[in-house]
Structure 1
Amino acid sequence: MASYTINGLSVTPIHGDFGAENCMPYIYLLSCFENLIPGFQLIRIQDKYAVIIFRGTGLDNERHVAFSAQLGSLEKNPAWGGSERVGTPYLFDVSNIESDGSLVKKDSRRWHHALGNALWHTDSSFNQHRSKYSLLLAHAVPVAGQGNTEFADTRQAWKDYPEAEKEKLRRYVVEHELWHSRKLASPDEYEKLTPEERNVKPPAYHKLVQQGPSGEETLFLAAHAKTLFDIDGNRLVDSQKIIWDLIANCTQSKYTFTAEWKAAGTLMWWDNRQSMHRASPYTENMGPRDVRRSTVIDDGPLAFGISKSYTEKLQVK
């Protein structure tokens, strides 16, 4: 599609109003929010397209974190999550590289954990305080055609959903659990959780139908979605079928595109309130894939999900 320019920001749409590319060096990225107009326009572009891809940014860890922090408070990597190699708790190491520099082995817990990233998901939906943005920066990329990321537009998918079904879906609450997606991706490995895993990430509860940054409705979905409840707290016995039917609908080709990393310095910034994504699964011949993610915590009215009184009602049932 044709490019256009807003206040000096060059934008190339990727898939209609979903996804855009922009070539912008880190010096300009970091200075955007020191100048009201460029910073405001960058947020407007993000709100419109939900996914922005920057090429050749020149960002390092420090600059990556600095730019992300201009967008809001950052989620800290839990101690068990592995931030030793990247050296900061504000970056999640989602690479196939161990702390000693070796590649992740196929029989390791980390390999199996990463299999869940190849399922369609929304980052941190399993946290009660959900995320708003994810910013994933490449430090090293594998050969062409490996390690790509796919994105799905949950806004347009919801807009096209039959009106007769929407009112019912608006009443649903979703239980999200990290270990549910991990068990789906690797059932034998995650048949039993370690005590640390079980305690550190309890389920979270969020409405199925949410609002995007402009107030439009959108689906809040992920492979982490384990159970659906109705407005009275009753568990739906066909939860998984409903959830995966919705995911299948959102991930039709008319709502998705594939983003290629191409080179180190690529930064992909997406809005978890308006999209789902999935990574290419690890392969033994992939080579080093060094990508690091900052996560901006949501500050909107639905950021904390469903109220404590509602979740207590669920636990009683």
Structure 2
Amino acid sequence: MTIKSEPLTEHTGSEIFVDREALISGALSPAIRELLVQRGVIIARGLHLTDDEQRAFTRTMGDLRLGTVKQEGEEGLQKVTFDEKVNPDYAKFFFGSLLWHMDGTYEEVPPFATILTPRVLSATGGQTEFTSNYATYEALPDDEKAWLDTLKVVHTMQAALFPGKPDCTVEEFALWHSYPNREHPLVWHHKTGRKSLVLSTSGSHVVGMHPAESHDLLQRLMAHATQPRFVYRHEWQMGDLLIWDNTGTMHRAMPYPADSGRQLHRFTLNGEEPVRGVA
């Protein structure tokens, strides 16, 4: 089944125009998945899905990540908010969402995709930005691609969070340090045959490279990947459904007042392939 869509920018994002019932049924999911991998981000406006409908649709797209169910009826649901009363386990980490990142870089198999809807929006700020790690890799010179293909990067929670809270307490830093480190190739060779950069603020250092050179390389690649020509900024509206391919994009939230009540409801699809480099 085909779907009507329009690109949002040259490199990143497409808006789809779909019937609400057909979307929830899963009849469109194969076509949406194909477009998602091509464009990195998919949005549909005016759907106003309930949590149950959003969960049901997510399951038609892949394997729902269950996480820890806190209350009946909240299977797989994560409430994205700074309010620790709403999300006591994760709210204290959400300041890191203001930095460019991929989710799950501390895992061998990062999550495949996330399906997000707004429940409360901030009056100011709170947009979400995305950049394509496929497009930014493809834009590099061939000789640099070949060199980057030889490199591996260590990803850590403290690297991901310290830039967002450099005045952290010793106890906070110790908590971040308790999370596992993970070494990934800098270039992901996907099972589709395509390649993308594995970039994220969580990238601590390049294995075997002098720390100063490692820092400069990762900063340069981050600046390259987040140029305006590669970035799609999503202006949230109530009723939106947004899906992003976590294996081929980075994302970040734009700053907004912590007391704004902003809350997004999120369901995640488990990963489907480990990060692999050149064979």
**TM class, shorter-length:** 0.7 to 0.9
In the comparison of the two structures, how many residue pairs are matched?
275
The aligned residue for residue 231 of structure 2 is 256
Q: Once the 2 structures are TM-superposed, how far is the Cα of residue 117 of structure 1 from its aligned partner?
A: 0.7
Q: Which runs of 5+ in 1 are unaligned?
A: 1-5, 307-317
Residue identity matched to 2:263: D
- CA offsets per residue over residues 175-224 of structure 1, 9 Å max, x none? 1122321111102225433766544x211222110135642211011111
Contact conserved, 1:75 with 1:297, CA < 8 A, in 2?
Answer: yes
Structure-1 residue corresponding to 2:247: 273
Q: 2:153 aligns with which of 174, 191, 195?
A: 174
Q: Is the 8 A contact 1:182 1:190 kept in 2?
A: no
- 1:134-145 equivalences under 5 Å are 134-143=114-123, 145=124
Q: Distance in 1 between matches of 2:161 and 2:73?
A: 25
Q: In the alignment, residue 91 of structure 1 is paired with which amino acid?
A: L
Q: In structure 2, what is the equivalent of residue 297 of structure 1? A: 270
Residue 190 to residue 125, structure 1, CA distance change in 2 (3 Å): farther
Give the TM-score normalised by the residue count of structure 1: 0.77
Matching residue's letter, 1:245? R
Residues 1:167 and 1:141: Cα distance change in structure 2 (over 3 Å): same
Q: Which residue of 2 aligns with 1:44?
A: 34
- Unaligned 5+ runs, structure 2: none
Matched to 2:198, the amino acid is F
Residue 66 of structure 1 corresponds to which residue in structure 2?
A: 56
Residues 134 and 272 in structure 1, CA contact (< 8 A), matched pair in contact too: yes
Deviation at 1:167, TM superposition (A): 1.4
Secondary structure at 2:267 match in 1: strand
Specify the alignment match of 2:188 in structure 1. 210
Counterpart Cα distance in 2 of 1:215 and 1:24: 29
Residues 85 and 99 in structure 1, CA contact (< 8 A), matched pair in contact too: no
1:143-170 Cα deviation digits (max 9, x unpaired): 2x52100111221211111222111111
How do residues 51-200 of structure 1 correspond to structure 2 at under 5 angstroms? Answer: 51-77=41-67, 84=70, 88-99=74-85, 110=91, 113-143=93-123, 145-189=124-168, 191-193=170-172, 198-199=177-178
Q: Secondary structure at the match of 2:122?
A: coil
Letter of the 2:261 partner, please give it: P
C-alpha contact (below 8 Å) 2:102/2:251 kept by paired residues: yes
Is the contact made by 2:64 and 2:269 (CA closer than 8 Å) also made in structure 1?
Answer: yes
Tell me, yes or no, if the aligned pair for 2:101 and 2:252 is still in contact at 8 Å: yes
State the SS of the aligned residue for 2:65: coil
Q: Which amino acid aligns with 2:240?
A: T
Q: Which runs of 4+ in 1 moved over 6 A?
A: none
Instruction: Sort the Cα spacing of 1:214 and 1:190 in 2 relative to 1 into closer, same or farther, 3 A.
Output: farther
Determine the structure 2 residue equivalent to 1:313.
none
Q: Contact 1:137 / 1:293 at 8 angstroms: preserved in 2?
A: yes
RMSD value, Cα: 2.7
**Which residue of structure 1 lines up, in the alignment, with residue 12 of structure 2?**
18
Task: Give the deviation of 1:258 after TM superposition.
Answer: 0.8
Q: Which of 195, 199, 203 pairs up with 1:225?
A: 203
1:179/1:190 contact within 8 Å kept: no
Change in CA separation of 1:190 and 1:48 when aligned onto 2, cut-off 3 Å? farther
Residues 1:159 and 1:125: Cα distance change in structure 2 (over 3 Å): same
Which structure has the higher relative contact order (CA within 8 Å, separation 6+)? 2
Could you tell me the TM-score, scaled by structure 2's length?
0.87
Asked if residue 246 in structure 1 is aligned to residue 221 in structure 2, the reply is yes
CA distance in 1, matches of 2:112, 2:4: 24
Of 288, 296, 309, the residue aligned with 2:261 is 288
Q: 2:169, 2:199 → 1: CA distance?
A: 22
Looking at structure 2, the residues matched to 198 and 75 of structure 1 have their Cα atoms a distance apart, in angstroms, of: 24
Q: CA deviation at 1:14?
A: 0.5
